[in-house]
Structure 1
């Protein structure tokens, strides 16, 4: 019997209810648990994401060059343009760096609380460069 039965990605934010609404709509997910300080959602494919209240949180500063991107969410999509329209309509924003060497099948965004995420066509096979 496995000791660990599931994993959950947890993002700290000031307003977990609002950020959960963003990700529920983006991922077509359902809320599976909530209390005063945390909201957890699950997408149809089983991906679990929790948003945890932290009243002292500061938004990540990526893509500033002096800060490394420590972690980010990545979503596989079919239609980059349609997903971008949805993200922006939900309050997300593009964080493109203008790098001409960057693949055109990957786009970077920040959610309404500033967490980084990317959407891409297909699964990456090469290691990150730079």
Structure 2
């Protein structure tokens, strides 16, 4: 595949994750606030943001968008995002303050604590704690 690369550059680069929704402006505002992101592009039917770490998300208008219904089987998990955070409680307060809602906030067993949420349009996502799991001293 070396012939597919020009001067050490990959032929394909990851682009942007696009979420369909009825109101892209409102959903972009939720993720801008959650990710401390900036607006990078907007048109009548699509809004794109980029976070400080370079994560790119776009929101495309679909007047017939059906919100995901996870954990129910109908319309389940049309897309799922995972976000890494250092402070689950602080991130949860931000999510709820921006209009998101908890789906499953019981701590998962195992090396990584995680919690499930839905954005205002119903897309589910998970927060995973990135802190060390070493036992607390004292």
- TM norm. shorter chain > 0.5: yes
Asked if the contact 1:63/1:97 (under 8 Å) is kept, the reply is no
**Other-structure match for 1:126:** none
Asked if the contact 1:80/1:119 (under 8 Å) is kept, the reply is yes
**Root mean square deviation of aligned Cα:** 2.2
Relative to the length of structure 1, the TM-score reads 0.84
**Other-structure match for 1:91:** 99
Q: Which moved more, 1:78-87 or 1:102-111?
A: 102-111
- Partner secondary structure for residue 39 of structure 1: strand
Task: Give the Cα separation in 1 of the matches to 2:93 and 2:21.
Answer: 23
Task: Give the Cα separation in 1 of the matches to 2:105 and 2:125.
Answer: 13
Unaligned runs of 5+ in 2: 1-5, 132-138
Matched, 1:72 2:84: no
Q: Which has the larger radius of gyration?
A: 2
Q: What is the number of equivalent residue pairs in this alignment?
A: 121
Runs of at least 4 residues of structure 1 off by over 2 A?
1-6, 65-71
Unaligned runs of 5+ in 1: 124-130
Matched, 1:11 2:14: no
**Other-structure match for 2:126:** 118
- Partner secondary structure for residue 104 of structure 2: coil
Asked if the contact 2:78/2:123 (under 8 Å) is kept, the reply is no
